[in-house]
Structure 1
Amino acid sequence: MRFFNRITLQTPESVELEFTLAGIGNRAYALLIDYIVWGLILIIFLIAWVFLSIQFIDVIEDLIGSDTQLELWLVSIQLLISFFIYVGYFVFFETLWQGQTPGKRYVKIRVIRDDGRPARLQQATLRALLRPVDDLFFMGVFFIALGKREKRIGDWVAGTVVIQEEQPLTAANVSVSESATTLANQLQTQADLSRLLPDDFAVIREYLQRRDGMTAEARTQLSRQLATQVKDIISLENVPQKVTANVFLEAVYLAYQQQSSSRYSG
């Protein structure tokens, strides 16, 4: 019996990735945490706004006398800024933290696009703008509970899904060369492996697992394409000479696992 729904997404490199969906319980827990954090931010803003508004009204009354319309304008501006804080909270964190908010990071779930890539500013903005619609009469809960991909309205419009974070595990059928092991040790100091996301690692792992079943031409083309993209992601200036794309990907695969193992063990 499977307690969590899993989905398979296809990346632009035609690699299929399998993810575990976050589930309505995890998403509700993360949202509760986010609302608590957002509420604290809003309370601080409101306290500061009330203090500044009183000072501003006193100054205006000394100059032109009492004006009830001024108070209405201040209330309208307050509501508008509060809405921007509400939307901006989710947009800011999901863009900065690769699809995670403080709540999602604590619960270990993350927003990704339908092609397996991390959510960007466009997706985060659409999800945030439609969140009030999803919260209205619990429409989001209804869509998540009944949909196979557990998407709320914001997810459907933005083209995103919410998945569980999974610690990468070593695949038994991934073979690496000795030269890749040597290069992996060099990458630990020469490259920024922290920029490599779990989804990026999964793409590399899927390729290494399936490369033996590919034609030589397809294997060469895909390995070079992946190696170029990975090189840019990890900010590696130069790849050692005579290192093939396959060996480079093997080295990145090993280096990422070594870094993950040391991080989790520490």
Structure 2
Amino acid sequence: MHLFNRVKFRTPESVELEFTLAGIGSRALALVIDYQILALLLVLFIFIWLFISEQLMDVGVEFFGAYFGLWLTAISLLILASIYAGYFVFFETIWHGQTPGKRIAKIRVIRDDGRPISLPQAALRALLRPIDEILFIGAFLIIFNQAEKRLGDLAAGTIVIQADTGNKNTNLVISEGGKSFYSQLSQMADLSQLLPDDFAIIREYLLRRNGMSNKSKASLSLKLSQQVQSIIGLETLPADISADVFLEAVYLAYQQSELY
């Protein structure tokens, strides 16, 4: 078992990101919490469904025959399965790889290239989850796979990592220089050329930069800045604007665009 195993990925923008894998303990904790929440949802649905079924039974049998009860049972099983899979798909999609359990356990799912997962990856992981849990197949794969992937991760191309904690605050602090340059940036370049995944990479760097050495930070920020400049068609930066300040301004522009 590779406790606190670290992996590095190079993004299509040639940016190298390093992550700490979540480990089976954190994943088990997250799953226990998620299953408790999910159990409450399923029990609530069952009570509501039993009440509705009781009201419909007499009328349904009269119009649809003796098999109406079997149809209700089949529909209920389909809805239960949808709630089970939909819980993980819904939260991992809107919370960028986290469910309530993963958020409490401080872990999240990302793609193999370091980008946030989207609906297809979340759906594939959820659909293969029952297979992973048969005879603890997923647990064995996590323990004996260097990347700590269960079957759903292998199929979806995802990994589960430790989320940023401590000084890596998820609420980014933008410097005054970044805020000032942000107001000029929209007049200088077309930021619409950047995709949401590009902004996700910028955010990942801004979150992790304080934990880097000065040399690594300078090299990575310059490389990422050059990639972004190439995409948006900005040949050179003003002399008084550093790569870090530029990236802050780009991400701040994205944040503001999401509000409108």
* Length-normalised TM-score, structure 2: 0.73
* Deviation of 1:18 (Å): 0.9
Contact 1:111–1:160 under 8 Å retained in 2? yes
Task: Kindly provide the amino acid, as one letter, of the partner of residue 116 in structure 2.
Answer: P
What secondary structure does 1:111 align onto? strand
Q: Deviations over 1:77-120 (max 9, x none)?
A: 11111111111100000000000000000111000000000011
**1:100 and 1:245, CA in 2 relative to 1: closer, same or farther beyond 3 A?**
farther
**In the alignment, what sits opposite 1:247?**
242
For structure 1, the 5+ residue unaligned runs are: 171-179, 232-238, 257-266
**1:10 and 1:51, CA in 2 relative to 1: closer, same or farther beyond 3 A?**
same
* Deviation of 1:202 (Å): 3.7
**In the alignment, what sits opposite 1:203?**
205
1:18 aligns with 2:13: no
**In the alignment, what sits opposite 2:134?**
136
* Length-normalised TM-score, structure 1: 0.72
Contact 1:38–1:89 under 8 Å retained in 2? yes
**In the alignment, what sits opposite 1:184?**
178
Alignment of 1:83-232 (within 5 A): 83-167=81-165, 181-186=175-180, 200-203=202-205, 205=209, 209-210=215-216, 222-226=224-228
What secondary structure does 2:102 align onto? helix
* Deviation of 1:12 (Å): 1.2
**In the alignment, what sits opposite 1:49?**
49
Which whole-Å CA distance do the structure 1 matches of 2:153 and 2:95 have between them? 18
Alignment of 1:51-90 (within 5 A): 51-61=51-61, 63-64=62-63, 67-90=65-88
**1:123 and 1:26, CA in 2 relative to 1: closer, same or farther beyond 3 A?**
same
What secondary structure does 2:18 align onto? strand
Q: How many residues align?
A: 227
Q: Deviations over 1:35-85 (max 9, x none)?
A: 111111111111111111111112234x448x4311111111111111111
* Deviation of 1:10 (Å): 1.1
Which whole-Å CA distance do the structure 1 matches of 2:160 and 2:179 have between them? 34
Q: Deviations over 1:195-251 (max 9, x none)?
A: 998853343548x8558669xxxx58x52433588x9xxxxxxx9x96479636335
Contact 2:109–2:159 under 8 Å retained in 1? yes
Contact 1:15–1:203 under 8 Å retained in 2? no
Which whole-Å CA distance do the structure 1 matches of 2:91 and 2:55 have between them? 33
Task: Kindly provide the amino acid, as one letter, of the partner of residue 184 in structure 1.
Answer: G
Q: Deviations over 1:108-146 (max 9, x none)?
A: 100000000001101000000000000111000000000
